[in-house]
Structure 1
Amino acid sequence: MAANYWTSTQKQNWLFEPHEIEALRQEVQKQHTKVVEQFPLPDRRLIFIFIKERILQLAKHLQFRQQCVATALVYLHRYFLFNAVQNVNLYLLTATAFYLASKTEESPHHIRLVASEARQLWPEYVPSDPSRIGEMEFCLISEMHSQLIVWHPYRSLTALKENQSLALTNEELSLAWSIINDTFMTDLPMTCPPYLIAVTAIFLAVIFVPSKSSLDIKAQAPDIQNIADAARFTSLGGRTGVSNTLSQGMGNSGVSHNPATFGYSNQIIDRSSIKAKTLTAATSSEKMQNVIRFLVDSDIDIERMINATQEIISLYEIWEQFNDKNVKEALTRCIRGQHFES
C-alpha cells in the first residue's frame, strides 16, 4: 500500500487527461458497436446517479463507512473505461463493487449477506447464488489490475479545515463535503488529484454560502467528524437542492437568484455570465479574497481547477434531466436483451 497519494497506483496508473478518457471510451464503443447501438443508454452521468442511488439502497440496512460508496463508484468508473455498460449485469456489478469496496475500506460484510440484500432489492437481476458475486469480484479486480486503494478528497478537506487563512465554517465544510460527494458521478476522480477536487469544492462552497463575520467564523469551531457523520453521502443534485443552495448562497453576494442563469434548466449554460457574476461575488467577499490568496500561494493548477468547476456545474445541469424510471427502463431493456437475468 502506498504511504501517500504521490506514490500510489492511483496517481501512477489511474489519473488521465480528459482526451485520454474520451479515446478509451471511443475504443470501447468501436469494439462493441452493435450492442451499443442496439441498446442506447442515457448520459453516463445519469447512469452514475442511478448507480449511486442503488448503492445507497443496498447499504441502507448494512453498517458501512461513507467512503465505501465513493470507492465503489470509483471502481465502476475504472471498470467502464474498458467495458461497455451494455455488456454487464449492472445490478450484479453494483452489488459486487460495494462488496469489494467495503473490504477495501475496512468495513467488510459477508458475501452471503450482501448477496441476500441485493437479491431482496433486485430479485429479477441478482442471482441467489453468492458465488456469482465472487465471480464478478474476480473480474472487477482483474480489470483494475488488483490496484484497489483509492485516495479520496475527504482527507484533503479534513486537512484544509485547519488552514487559518481559509477559516472555513461548518456550513461551508458541509457544503464542500456534499459537492465532493457529487463529483463521483463525474470523471473528476479520474482526471483530477484528490486535493484539487477538495479545493474546488471549497471554492464553490465559499461562493454559495453567505458571508459571515470573522466573529461568527471563529465561534463555529468546525468539527469535521460531525460534518462527515451528518453528510454521509448526501448530494446537492436535483432542482431543489442546487437551486436552494445557490439562491441562499448568492443572495447576499449580488449574484442572480435565477437557477437558469447557472444552467440548472434545459437551457445552455452561459459560461461568461457565470464567470462575471462569480468574480463580482469574489471581489465583494473578504473570505473569497482569502481563498484566492490561498490558491496563489499554494500554486494550484488554476486551469485544471476551472475545468473541474465547469464539470461540476455541468453535472448539476444534466441532473435536472434525471428520471429514475427512464434510466431503469433503459437498463432493463439492455439486461433482458442480453439475457443477464438470474
Structure 2
Amino acid sequence: MEECPQHIRFVVAEARNFWPEFIAPDVSKLGECEFALISEMNSQLIVHHPYRTLSELQPELSLTSDEVALAWSVINDHYLTDLPLLYPPHVIAVMAIIVAVVFKPSQTSFHGTAAPLAGAMRDGGMNILAALGDKNGAGPPPRIQKLVSWLAESEVDIRAVIECTQELVSLYEIWENYSEKHCKELLGRMVKSKNLDK
C-alpha cells in the first residue's frame, strides 16, 4: 500500500520466514493475488478503516490514551475476522470504543496472553448489567453513562455494533483455547494417517 510500500521480493521472503510450509518462493503468485484484489475492488483503491473514526471520536467521548490504545488493539484484532467485509468502519470503531470503555479487559490480555480476555469481557459486561439493575440508584459509572447517551443520540446501528462485539468475543474465546503445539500435533497425525508425508 502507499503508506508502507515494500518490494514484492521482500514481502515473499518475510512470509517464507514465518510460514515456510505455505509460501512458495514464486514472486509472481503474490503479484497475481494483488491483481485479483484490485480487480475485486473494481480498481477503487481507497480503503476506509476504523482508525480515523476512532481518532475523531476520541475528543468527543473524552477517551483516555489507555482507552484509545486498547480500542486500537481491538481494531487490529478485528482484521483477523470477517468483520471488515461485513460492517462499515465506523461501526467497528464504535465497537472497539465500547470494548475499551465498558468491558475494560486488562492491557496485558491484549498484548500478552489472550487467555483471560473473553472472561474479562464477560465479567465487565456482567458488572455493567448489575449496575444497570441496581435498585439503589448508583447505576453505571459516569463514563459509561456518557457513552450510552452518545450511542442513543447517534445514528450508529446498535444491532451491528452488538453483532461485531459478539464476533470479537468469539474470536477471543477461540484464542483462549488455541494451542499452536496441539494444532501441529494434530496436523502431524493427520499427515501420517493419510500417508501424505511420503
TM-score class, shorter-chain normalisation, is 0.7 to 0.9
1:10-61 Cα deviation digits (max 9, x unpaired): xxxxxxxxxxxxxxxxxxxxxxxxxxxxxxxxxxxxxxxxxxxxxxxxxxxx
Number of residue pairs matched by the alignment? 182
Bigger CA drift: 191-200 or 317-326? 317-326
**TM-aligned CA deviation for residue 289 of structure 1:** 0.6
How far, CA to CA, are the matches of 2:182 and 2:15 in structure 1? 21
Bigger CA drift: 142-151 or 308-317? 142-151
User: Could you state the TM-score of these two structures normalised by the residue count of structure 2?
Assistant: 0.74
How far, CA to CA, are the matches of 2:181 and 2:36 in structure 1? 29
Corresponding position: 1:295 with 2:151: yes
Corresponding position: 1:279 with 2:155: no
**Partner residue in 2 for 1:108:** 5
**Partner residue in 1 for 2:179:** 323
**Partner residue in 1 for 2:135:** none
Aligned-residue CA RMSD (Å):
3.4
Does the Cα contact within 8 Å between 2:15 and 2:23 map onto a contact in 1?
Answer: yes
How far, CA to CA, are the matches of 1:285 and 1:200 in structure 2? 19
**Partner residue in 1 for 2:49:** 152
Q: Which runs of 5+ in 2 are unaligned?
A: 133-138
Are the structure 2 counterparts of residues 139 and 237 from structure 1 closer, same or farther at C-alpha, using a change threshold of 3 Å?
farther
Identity, % of aligned positions: 45
Are the structure 2 counterparts of residues 133 and 303 from structure 1 closer, same or farther at C-alpha, using a change threshold of 3 Å?
closer
How far, CA to CA, are the matches of 1:181 and 1:135 in structure 2? 26
**Partner residue in 1 for 2:64:** 169
**TM-aligned CA deviation for residue 324 of structure 1:** 2.3
Q: Which amino acid aligns with 2:115?
A: R
User: Could you state the TM-score of these two structures normalised by the residue count of structure 1?
Assistant: 0.46
**TM-aligned CA deviation for residue 180 of structure 1:** 1.4
- For residues 90-105 of structure 1, what are the structure 2 equivalents within 5 Å? 103=1, 105=2
Are the structure 2 counterparts of residues 318 and 299 from structure 1 closer, same or farther at C-alpha, using a change threshold of 3 Å?
same
How far, CA to CA, are the matches of 1:198 and 1:107 in structure 2? 22
- Higher relative contact order, structure no. (Cα contacts within 8 Å, ≥ 6 residues apart): 1
Are the structure 2 counterparts of residues 305 and 318 from structure 1 closer, same or farther at C-alpha, using a change threshold of 3 Å?
same
Q: Which runs of 5+ in 1 are unaligned?
A: 1-102, 211-233, 247-258, 263-272
Are the structure 2 counterparts of residues 306 and 129 from structure 1 closer, same or farther at C-alpha, using a change threshold of 3 Å?
closer
